[in-house]
């Protein structure tokens, strides 16, 4: 399970730690950011204690109007043993009641010079990426005209060779052999493991560095996965789809993406087929479906023929 701590936020956003340093390694398990405005008014019934708390000018302006007793009480309830951290925006000065409660409960108090709105946006984007569900798939990920194509299949079927041919045709390699896939909202984003970045394994040649051979424009650090193509050795006894009307899908994490199967045998140019599959997928998203149009024309011809008989 991915884990983020306040210490990671300090390094990523150059935050200043003001109190509760012993709690900087508490795990942050949620990407949602809470602005405890209603809690400042004393309503803690539904207080999301496990979220990162963000105090801006609005919350602190209201807090300073409270009496001393309420100030101590609100800060004590705000700083729980489940709270992963409290961040102050705009370089605001933390109330002494907050500092005392944070030190007592080990809640890290951090400060940023950014505005509240910008800070929330930055933190949410970072946490969603870091805390997203992740899995690894054996395959190759290539960016073809902006379409992320995940090539899968048995070892030695020709995935890497197809990717190399696609790179030579001007497309971009994202990952070879192992693709790390993160779920971000309703989409899948693939990237290479750090050890395999920019590398491609070709049997008989060994490991090649795609960026060194073909330039920086031949690789991408990550890409959204739009479709999957499975390469398999041609089976004479298997009936392969010849029209493409019915679409098969594959589920990765919690997301379904279209899946196509390409049989492999001598004489088939896999790179061209994969490239055309990506282009055809793009046309379908624009509302142009050649297979569906053919089926409708065929149906019309059959119906016209039946009417002529009568």
pLDDT in tens, 183-230: 887 889 999 999 999 999 998 889 999 999 999 999 999 999 999 999
Domain count for the chain? 2
| pTM of this structure | 0.71
Residue 234 lies in a domain: yes
Q: Do residues 54 and 77 share a domain?
A: yes
Query: From its phi and psi, is residue 103 left (phi > 0), alpha (psi between -120 and 50) or beta?
Result: alpha
- Give the DSSP letter string of 23-52: GTT-EE----EE--HHHHTT--TT--TTSE
Which residues carry a binding-site annotation?
Answer: 153-160, 201
Sequence-distant (6+) residues with CB within 8 A of 23 are 6, 84, 85, 105, 106, 107, 108
| Domain enclosing residue 56, as ranges | 4-130
Q: Do residues 160 and 96 share a domain?
A: no
Which residues carry a binding-site annotation for ATP?
Answer: 153-160
Residue 300 lies in a domain: no
Residue 233 sits in a domain whose CATH number is 3.40.50.300
H helix or E strand, kind and range, residue 253: none
Q: Measure the CA–CA gap between 141 and 138, rounded to whole angstroms.
A: 10
**Beta carbons of 59 and 35 less than 8 angstroms apart:** yes
Residue 295 lies in a domain: no
Q: Do residues 199 and 57 share a domain?
A: no
Q: Do residues 155 and 210 share a domain?
A: yes
Positions marked catalytic: 138, 159, 177, 242
Q: Do residues 165 and 268 share a domain?
A: yes
Which residues carry a binding-site annotation for Mg(2+)?
Answer: 160, 201
Q: Which residues of the chain have pLDDT under 70?
A: 1-2, 240-245, 291, 294-295, 298, 303-310
Task: Pick the last residue of a domain from 98, 130, 162.
Answer: 130
| pLDDT score, position 306 | 59
Cβ neighbourhood burial of 72 (10 Å; 0-12, 13-18, 19+): middle
């Amino acid at each position: 399970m991915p884990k983020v701590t306040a210490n990671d936020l300090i390094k990523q956003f150059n935050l200043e730690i003001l109190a509760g340093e012993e709690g900087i390694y508490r795990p942050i398990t949620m990407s949602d950011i809470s602005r405890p405005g209603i809690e400042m008014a004393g309503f803690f019934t539904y207080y999301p204690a496990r979220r990162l708390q963000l105090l801006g000018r609005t919350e602190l302006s209201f807090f300073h109007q409270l009496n001393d007793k309420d100030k101590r009480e609100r800060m004590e309830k705000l700083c729980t043993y489940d709270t992963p951290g409290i961040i102050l925006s705009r370089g605001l000065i933390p109330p002494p009641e907050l500092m005392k409660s944070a030190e007592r409960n080990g809640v890290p108090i951090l400060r940023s010079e950014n505005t509240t709105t910008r800070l929330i946006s930055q933190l949410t984007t970072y946490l969603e990426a870091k805390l997203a569900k992740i899995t690894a798939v054996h395959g190759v990920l290539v960016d073809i005209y902006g379409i992320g194509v995940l090539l899968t299949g048995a070892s030695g079927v020709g995935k890497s060779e197809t990717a190399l041919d696609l790179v030579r045709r001007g497309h971009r390699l994202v990952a070879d052999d192992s693709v790390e896939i993160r779920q971000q909202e309703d989409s899948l984003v693939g990237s290479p493991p750090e050890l395999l970045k920019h590398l491609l394994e070709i049997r008989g040649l060994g490991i090649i560095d795609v960026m060194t051979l073909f330039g920086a424009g031949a690789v991408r650090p990550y890409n959204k996965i739009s479709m999957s193509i499975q390469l398999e050795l041609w089976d004479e006894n298997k009936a392969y789809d010849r029209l493409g009307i019915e679409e098969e899908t594959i589920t990765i994490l919690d997301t379904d993406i279209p899946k196509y199967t390409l049989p492999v045998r001598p004489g088939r140019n896999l790179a061209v087929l994969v490239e055309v599959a990506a282009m055809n997928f793009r046309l379908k998203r624009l509302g142009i479906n050649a297979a569906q149009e053919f089926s409708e024309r065929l149906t019309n011809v059959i119906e016209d023929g039946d009417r002529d008989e009568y």
